[in-house]
Structure formats: C-alpha cells, structure tokens
Amino acid sequence: MSRIEEYTNQILCGDAGEILKEIPSNSVNLVITSPPYYKQRDYGGQGIGDEPSVEQYVEKVVGVFKQCVRVTKDDGAIVFNIGDKYENGNLLLAPYRFAIEAVKNAKVKLLNEVTWVKYNPVPKQDKRKLIPSKEPFFIFVKSNDYYFNRDVFLDHLDFVRKKPNGNGSNIGKAYFNLIEGSDLSKEQKAACREQLEETIAEVKQGKLESFRIKIKGIHAEPYGGQNGGRKIHLERDGFTIIRIYGNSLKRDIIESPVETIKGNIHPAVYPEYVIQEFLKLLTRKGDVVLDPFIGSGTTAVVCKKMGRDFIGIEINPVYCEYARKKISKTFEENLLELFV
C-alpha cells in the first residue's frame, strides 16, 4: 500500500497544519477547502480565524496553503474559498489579501476567481450597506499541465442542482411585454410569440441553457462583424432569437442557494452543488480530493457521490464524528440505489 492510500477515504481529526506535513508530496489531484473566516463565527476551537489582525490571519492561512501546494500533483489544482469581513465599518478584502500573498509565497498561478452568487443570502441588519451575496473561490495551479474539463462545467442537469422558481413560470415573461409594446406588425408579433414559447419550452426541457431576443426598434441592431444571419432575421422578421447552449457559455460564476440543512451542527456549510462543479471541472473519477478544513463533511459526501476518493482533516472532534456519520450514511444510500 502506498503512503497516500493510508489516508484516503478518512476523516483525520487534528490540526490541518500538522497533519498535512504527514501527507506525501505530489500525491493528491485536488485540494478544495474553505478555511474558517476571519472573526466571523465560532467554529468550536478551530485553530484559524481568531487572530488579532487580518494580516496575521492571512499569514496563517497562507502557511496551510503552502502545504496544500506541496501535496498537490503537478497537473492538479488548489481551490480556496475565503470570506470577507467588515472591521470598523471598513471592508477588509481578506480574500484578495490572501490571493496576493498566496501567489507571492508559493509557486502557483492564479487561474480563475470563480464567484459563488447566493440566491438567498443572509440579510444583514445594517441598512447603510448592501447585503453581501457572493463569495470568491480561487483556483490555483502548479504548472501549465493542469487537468481542466471545461466542457462539463455548469451542466445544470446534475444531481444536486437547485434553482429558484423551480417551475420556470417567469422565464421570458418580460419579452412578451416587449413584443406587445413594439412596432412590429401583427403578423411579426404572432411569429415572435410563437418562437418565444418554443424557446422557453427548450429551456424548461434542459435543451438550452438560456436565450436572448433582439427586437427591431427596441434593441440595438447587430454591428461590425455581426452582419450574418442575426441581422438578416432582424431586418426580415423584425426579431431574432439567440439560443445559448450549455457548453457555449462557461462563465466564472456559480449560482446556487445557501444550504440550510436540518440537524447540521456546523455553522457554515457550502452547497454540494458548488463542490460538484469544481470536481467536474478539475478531477476525474478515482482521483484523490483533499479538504483540510472539512467541517461537517460536505466535500467528502460529494466525492462519494461522484466516484472520487477523499481525505478530510478537521480539528473539532465533534465535527469529525458528525462528518464520519454523514459519509457512512451517503455510502449506504449509494449501495441501496444499486439494488433498487
């Protein structure tokens, strides 16, 4: 048995900075984690998050990050999610302080900042500030040979996708109003409505990711190099529909609700859907995924569902035991599905 196999599919209870030193170099395919945020929550004795200053916090997180870089294979990636914090009314920009120091202090490249947009952010009481509704996930790589399966990223038909307004009843509603208020002829309006209804049906069936409509006299006409089919349709029919397919638009944004899980003892749980998307993008089946701040075990649960091996590290023994039970339940549910 190789050394890395001694750690796989386990929750290791202890300090991440110390346990990471035991894991062999160049042995995991992906590190994905969310360290305790700076002075945000009570994590029950977690070793990071209560430093006297944000500078000391960043220094401590970067120390763990450097160990994560060491254990990651050359074709692997490291993904860190860092939350921000107000101090004396000033936004500290802690995530970006971390990203800058990470690049300076470890031999990595910052590949992308993926923004997690929350559909249901926690409302803040301060009426003189806007409600924070996003968080960054930074993707770092060690070399130009990193694995990157862009084609499967943001496939919205996957097993933990959660959308608001699940019936899709409001899709395209504004376009119907624009059609009625346009200068199109009666026949053109009827044709536009008919094609709009067909396009909405394709979105609901999962055949399309999204769409746009340009209506003559309302939207700007195609210009420059856009003198092809769209301009012809706009001049001939008075409108043109632009269909956006799932693989054609791979933005650096993941939209998902914040998960509130009944009975979960951990104060900060990121959605399974978010982890799923990074695993699809950056790993293959059978790869090893490490989360050095695994908390209640979300990363491990998604790994189990998607056929990846995991290594979890958690300093709080209560969370360790909870994560182990949750992973065991996921394993039993997967077995049950095989025989149903």
Residue 281 is assigned to a structural domain of this protein: yes
Q: Is the pLDDT of residue 153 over 70?
A: yes
Assigned domain for 267 exists? yes
Please determine, for residue 57, whether its predicted confidence score (pLDDT) is greater than 80.
yes
Domain termination site, one of 221, 248, 275: 248
pLDDT per residue as tens digits for the range 317-334: 999 999 999 998 765 555
Q: Evaluate whether 38 touches 94 at the Cβ level (below 8 Å).
A: yes
What 8-state DSSP symbol labels residue 15? Answer: -
Is 233 found in the same domain as 273?
Answer: no
Q: Which structural domain range is residue 278 located in?
A: 4-154+250-339
- The DSSP output letter for 54 is H
The answer as to whether 145 is a domain residue is yes
Q: Tokens 């000033």 appear where? A: 90
Close Cβ partners of 305 (under 8 Å, ≥ 6 residues apart): 159, 160, 272, 276, 330, 334
Residue 244 sits in the same domain as residue 332: no
Q: Is residue 338 very low, low, confident or very high in pLDDT (cuts 50, 70, 90)?
A: very low
Residues 240 and 264 in one domain: no
Q: Single out the residue of 61, 25, 252 nearest to residue 139, CA to CA.
A: 252
Q: What's the CA gap between 119 and 166, in Å, rounded?
A: 13
150/181 same-domain check = no
Instruction: Tell which residue, 46, 9, 2, has the closest CA to residue 25.
Output: 2
Stated as kind and residue range, the H or E segment containing 32 is: strand 28-33
Is the pLDDT confidence value at 226 over 50? Answer: no
Least confident of 89-93, 142-146, 173-177, 329-333: 329-333
- pLDDT, residue 329, reads 79
Q: Distance (Å, rounded) from C-alpha 308 to C-alpha 280? A: 10
175 exposure class (CB count in 10 Å sphere: 0-12, 13-18, 19+): buried
pLDDT digits (tens, 9 = 90+) for 230-286: 788 888 999 999 887 755 568 899 988 886 554 555 455 678 999 999 999 999 999
Same domain, 22 and 125: yes
Q: Tell me the CATH number at 77.
A: 3.40.50.150
Which residue, among 324, 314, 339, has the nearest Cα to 45 in the 3D structure? 314
Examine residue 128 and state whether it is found in any structural domain, yes or no. yes
Residues 54 and 193 in one domain: no
Whether residue 212 sits in one domain with residue 89: no
Q: For the chain, what is the domain count?
A: 2
Is 89 within the bounds of a domain?
yes
In a domain, 323, yes or no: yes
Tell how many helices (H) and how many strands (E) occur in the chain. Answer: 9, 12
Whether residues 96 and 221 fall in one domain: no
My answer on whether 223 and 257 are in the same domain is no
Strands 86-87, 72-81: parallel, antiparallel or unpaired by DSSP?
unpaired
Burial 86-124 (b: 16+ CB within 10 A, else e): eeeeeebebbebbbebbeeebebeebbebebebeeeeee
Q: Is residue 166 part of a domain?
A: no
CA of 297: how far to CAs of 254, 314, 320, in Å? Answer: 21, 9, 8
Clarify whether residues 146 and 28 are in a common domain: yes
End of a domain among 248, 276, 309? 248
Which of 190, 215, 248 terminates a domain? The answer is 248
Is the residue at 164 inside a domain? Answer: no
pLDDT at 167 over 80: no
pLDDT of 46 reads: 55
Same-domain status, 72 and 132: yes
Residue 67 contacts residue 21 (beta carbons within 8 Å): yes
274 and 128 housed in the same domain:
yes
β-sheet bridge partners, residue 243: 211
The whole-angstrom distance between residue 186's C-alpha and the CA centroid of its chain comes to: 45
